[in-house]
Amino acid sequence: MSKINRRKLRMAAAALATGTIAVAGGALAATAQAAPLAHPAATSYNFVTLDNQHDLTFNQLLGISNQGTIAGYFGSGAAGHPNKGYLLFPPYGQGNYVNENFPGSAQTQLTGLNDNGTKVGFFSTMNNASMTNDNFGFWQRNGQYHVADFPTGSPASPPVDQLLGVNDGNVAVGFWTDANGNNHGYEYNINTNRYYTVTDPKAPTASLTAAAINNQGDIAGFYTNPANGNTDGFLKDGGKFIDLAVPGASSTMALGVNDHDEVVGTYTVGSGSSAVMHGFTWTPRGGFQTVDDPHGIGTTTINGVNDAGELVGFYVDSAGNTDGMLAVPQQ
């Protein structure tokens, strides 16, 4: 989720998102400094930092199931500091982290999971100092790993293909990058082994990343808005394509969605060294709400949400470490 340098292992919102979600990319030029205010019915959260002790300097949590199982990874992706995927089971102690890495890979990010035991992500055979690495999508069930790459004749070099989310019907979503550096969203039906493109109906050639899918088949992600060239989030609900742009933000990335069409992600205000990133939730009735971990205000990304409204993501702390974050709604 964020995005990602399309040729680096995702993340940091940087990670999903451009940089996948997953993913954080460079900030776009700012149009205003205003951030959305919490509305009267805003949700309050209890925040918990969750870091795998194998690397306390870099953790990102990318997906959460309705049972509370979390998908994530540790390691920044720098040379000698590879991404390593994991599952975290409740209760969330160090003994409940389980490694999940594509066999023989140099790096793996576990990006999504459903409630039936299917996990998705992407892996790399490289861990270069330049962080220009190949990426290949995969899915896993019952301990068996399978490569899943969109069939294309014009991939980037090295190739970039990432699966970022999966629903209970075993329909996954992700993106691949072409030779010109544009992203192309797609659905992949694991049961039938068939691929389908995901586009903005009004701009079918726009660069687009499909980041999450719920059990109704609604898809969240982000794309290049042809009207202004900005990166906007979207929710594709059947034949309806809803643009999601936080007022005053220079970039908005939708990275997760639950069965209530609650969308989560990150938005950027400002540009260059003054850019700050905030997590958000969006609902059809309530609109946008800013959600920042109190230890990472201005550096928060929300990557996943389950049907209970529990959020996972990450933030950068005062020491410069990237920490995994769980946010539980207060009743």
Per-residue pLDDT, 140: 98
Q: CATH classification of 45-270+279-329 is 2.60.120.200, yes or no? A: no
For the chain, give the mean pLDDT: 90
Give yes or no for residue 19 having a pLDDT over 70: no
Nearest to 328 by CA among 70, 95, 97, 85: 70
Give the span between the Cα atoms of 118 and 200, in whole angstroms.
Answer: 28
Per-residue pLDDT, 7: 35
Instruction: Summarize the confidence of residues 67-95 as an average pLDDT.
Output: 98
Residues of the chain above pLDDT 90, percent: 86
Give yes or no for residue 10 having a pLDDT over 80: no
Name the more confident of 314 and 18: 314
pLDDT band at 32 (very low <50, low <70, confident <90, very high): very low
Nearest to 300 by CA among 255, 261, 237: 255
Least confident of 5-14, 252-261, 270-279, 308-317: 5-14
Give yes or no for residue 13 having a pLDDT over 50: no
Instruction: Summarize the confidence of residues 85-94 as an average pLDDT.
Output: 98
- Give DSSP secondary structure letters for 69-95: -EEEEE---STTS--EEEEEPSS--GG
pLDDT band at 238 (very low <50, low <70, confident <90, very high): confident
Assessment of whether the complete model's pTM goes beyond 0.75: yes
Give yes or no for residue 196 having a pLDDT over 80: yes
Give yes or no for residue 200 having a pLDDT over 80: yes
pLDDT digits (tens, 9 = 90+) for 160-188: 999 999 999 999 999 999 999 999 999 99
Give yes or no for residue 236 having a pLDDT over 60: yes
CA 309 to each of CA 41, 115, 196, 221, 325: distance values in angstroms, whole numbers, following the listed order? 14, 15, 29, 18, 14
β-pair type (263-269, 251-257): antiparallel
Give yes or no for residue 73 having a pLDDT over 90: yes
Give yes or no for residue 16 having a pLDDT over 80: no
Residue with tokens 């959260």: 45
Least confident of 26-40, 152-166, 220-234, 259-273: 26-40
Give the span between the Cα atoms of 248 and 262, in whole angstroms.
Answer: 21
Q: Are 150 and 176 in contact (CB under 8 A)?
A: yes
Beta carbons within 8 Å of 301's beta carbon, 6+ residues apart: 1, 2, 12, 13, 14, 15, 23, 24, 255, 265, 266, 277, 279, 313, 314, 315
Per-residue pLDDT, 40: 56
What residues pair up with 66 in beta bridges, in sequence order? none
Give yes or no for residue 8 having a pLDDT over 80: no
The CB density around residue 319, as the number of other CB atoms within 10 Å, is 8
**How many residues does this entry show for the chain?**
331
Instruction: Summarize the confidence of residues 94-99 as an average pLDDT.
Output: 98
Least confident of 14-18, 143-147, 187-191: 14-18
Residue with tokens 């192309």: 184
Task: Give domain limits for the chain.
Answer: 45-270+279-329
Q: Are 293 and 301 in contact (CB under 8 A)?
A: no
Q: Which amino acid, 64?
A: I
Q: What is the Cα 40 distance to its own chain's centre? A: 28
pLDDT band at 33 (very low <50, low <70, confident <90, very high): very low
pLDDT band at 193 (very low <50, low <70, confident <90, very high): very high
Instruction: Summarize the confidence of residues 57-73 as an average pLDDT.
Output: 98
Give the span between the Cα atoms of 130 and 77, in whole angstroms.
Answer: 10
